[in-house]
Amino acid sequence: MKSQLLGHPFGDASLLEQALTHRSAGRRNNERLEFLGDALVNLIVAEFVYEQYPKASEGEMTRLRASLVSGAALASVARDEAIGDAIVLGPGELKTGGFRRESILADTLEALIAAVYLDAGWQPCRSLVRRLFETRVAAAEGKVAKDPKTTLQELLQARGHALPVYELVASNGDDHAKTFDVACVIEAFDLREPGHGPSRRAAEQAAAEVALVRVREHLASR
């Protein structure tokens, strides 16, 4: 077990060990730390976005924060920091390459951030998160875009159509690695577009993205 990760020298090595231990590897795992880390990341990134984009509206800041702390974004940070190499997994997850799985990488990053907070306090934790997200927050300038669900909703509303309905089609896998299939149903255009993702929300966004393309095609052909 490394004595430090994310550039933080842990005074309490047991916190680091717990943060890197997936639930498949033992009872003392990182699930509780992940819960705390999720709240810390959301707060610190929200503060960072608020400071960096003084002219952004509440909706724009909400969308930007959501994109920065999404599972895919957190997993990307984890890969940059080579966290996957240090994760402790059970035999099953190890065999299926769990150290590369997006959800496991994201959850472990959150657990590590919580561990830094418990080990050293607020300021070192805040400084760490800001360092990890600095280039990503800066790169978002001029790219605060609406998510597919919001864009689709506004497009339909502007033309007097009913809002889309998102139906859960299926959910598969164990609790820690579940995937979801949904359908975006738009009666006005007789559309039922599929979406797949690691969470129901992600699957709905994927379905909305497909539906948005189809709706625009219908409108352009009229």
Nearest Cα residue to 129 out of 144, 145, 147, 116:
116
**174/82 Cα distance (integer angstroms):** 25
Alpha-helical segments (H) within the chain: 13-19, 31-52, 58-68, 71-80, 91-95, 102-120, 122-139, 148-158, 200-221
Catalytic residue among 34, 38, 93, 119: 38
Annotation says 110 is catalytic? yes
pLDDT on residue 141: 67
pLDDT on residue 143: 56
* pTM recorded for the entire structure: 0.66
Annotation says 187 is catalytic? no
Catalytic residue among 107, 110, 193, 204: 110
How open is the CA angle 91-96-100, to the nearest 5 degrees?
110
Express as a percent the part of the chain with pLDDT over 70: 95
**105/44 Cα distance (integer angstroms):** 19
- pLDDT, tens digit, 9 for 90 and up, residues 93-152: 877 777 788 999 999 999 999 999 999 999 999 999 999 999 999 887 655 556 789 889
